[in-house]
Amino acid sequence: MIPVTKPFLPPQEEYLKLVNDIWQRQWLTNNGPLVNELELKLKEYLGVEHLLYLSNGTIALQLAIKALGLTGEIITTPFSYVATTSSIVWEGCTPVFVDIDSNSLNIDSNKIEAAISPKTSAILATHVYGNPCDIEAIEAIAQKHNLKVIYDAAHCFGTLYKGRSIFEYGDISTTSFHATKLFHTIEGGAVFTKDPELLKTMAYMRNFGHDGPEKFQGLGINAKNSEFHAAMGVLNLEYVNEILEKRKELSLYYNSKLKNFKGKQPELLKKSEFNYAYYPIIFSNEDQMLKTLKVFNENLIYPRRYFYPSLNSLPYVDGFNVPITENIASRILCLPLYHTLTKGEIDLICRLILRTQNN
């Protein structure tokens, strides 16, 4: 079987050594030494000044919305994982969908201003598949209309824009360290901000609002993560350059084998360095995609319709007319991509794609 992804796992003995250390300390959670070590090493590796390690990427979005005091409407993309939209609704705000650019698959910055109303408080944009949004246009619009900007950068570990980590942009950037991501802590996530006061607010919020054992700074939630998760992150960080290089190698091999594919791939933002987090291909039509998917499954290959369906179809949001998103969502597949995927397996995947499109 060839799944869409497999998590990278460090040598078991390395993880067990850290687990034995946890056993000796008996400090399992509540800002333990491995959580602190991971935060420090992430800041050094990514070249960022501030971050907070959290329990997952969804709580990161919710914390960002709460910390910025957002209300009313938040402009966002219908082409993302459901957590982008559900977090907005969960925090009592209303998602307003803006259609995507058909080339980058990110929110179309040329359509954002038309969606702004007196109720708009922020723009929440996803860097889809690790490909940066039109950052400069989005931030210019936000500045003009006095809006906050949150970037859902769940796919973006290792992505750079203008030589800087993509996490450096926006009022707050969020990410996921879920097991499906190229860098993971089994479950996990983080928030990033350049504002030290905003970071302090989110640090209180992460731990129920505690300001000492018997005092509360304000409203908070349990967004902490454990020593066991941090241990996985500390180890995986030692291998992340190897992981990034391997994914690039495999992606370029896909490119060489799919030169005759009758479809297209997302167009990357200029001045960015891509992290090869996913390998999406867009078929010429949905029937061709479904036919290929059927052949894949018959051969025990399981890509993913990522992202499908378009988020404007969720039962808890108002309907929006986003024809480009709906069209792309109907005919895109993310092909298998992970550290131990072999070139022989890629050969098989690509042969099936090309054979099916010619039948």
Same domain, yes or no, for 47 and 180? yes
| 319, pLDDT greater than 90 | no
Q: Return the CATH number at 194.
A: 3.40.640.10
Task: Decide: 303 and 336 in contact? Cβ < 8 Å.
Answer: yes
**pTM, two decimal places:** 0.97
Same domain, yes or no, for 148 and 71? yes
Q: Give residue-wise pLDDT tens across range 220-231.
A: 999 999 999 999
Kindly state whether residue 2 falls inside one of the protein's structural domains: no
**Element spanning 293, H or E:** helix 286-298
Same domain, yes or no, for 57 and 91? yes
DSSP 297-320: HHTTEE-B-TT-S-GGG-TTS---
The range of the structural domain enclosing residue 299 comes to 240-357
Q: Return the CATH number at 245.
A: 3.90.1150.10
**Element spanning 52, H or E:** strand 51-54
Q: Give residue-wise pLDDT tens across range 194-214.
A: 999 999 999 999 999 998 888
Which of these, 83, 45, 15, 80, lies nearest to 328 by C-alpha position?
80
Q: What per-residue confidence (pLDDT) applies to 359?
A: 81
- Structurally, how many domains does the chain consist of? 2
Same domain, yes or no, for 223 and 290? no
Same domain, yes or no, for 202 and 351? no
Same domain, yes or no, for 193 and 340? no
Q: Give residue-wise pLDDT tens across range 240-289.
A: 999 999 999 999 999 999 999 999 999 999 999 999 999 999 999 999 99
Q: Give residue-wise pLDDT tens across range 292-312.
A: 999 999 999 999 999 999 999
Q: Give residue-wise pLDDT tens across range 88-125.
A: 999 999 999 999 999 999 999 999 999 999 999 999 99
DSSP 262-278: SSB-PPPPTTEE-----
| 174, pLDDT greater than 90 | yes
Q: What per-residue confidence (pLDDT) applies to 164?
A: 97
Q: Which of 189, 217, 235 corresponds to the end of one domain?
A: 235
| 147, pLDDT greater than 90 | yes
Task: Decide: 272 and 128 in contact? Cβ < 8 Å.
Answer: no
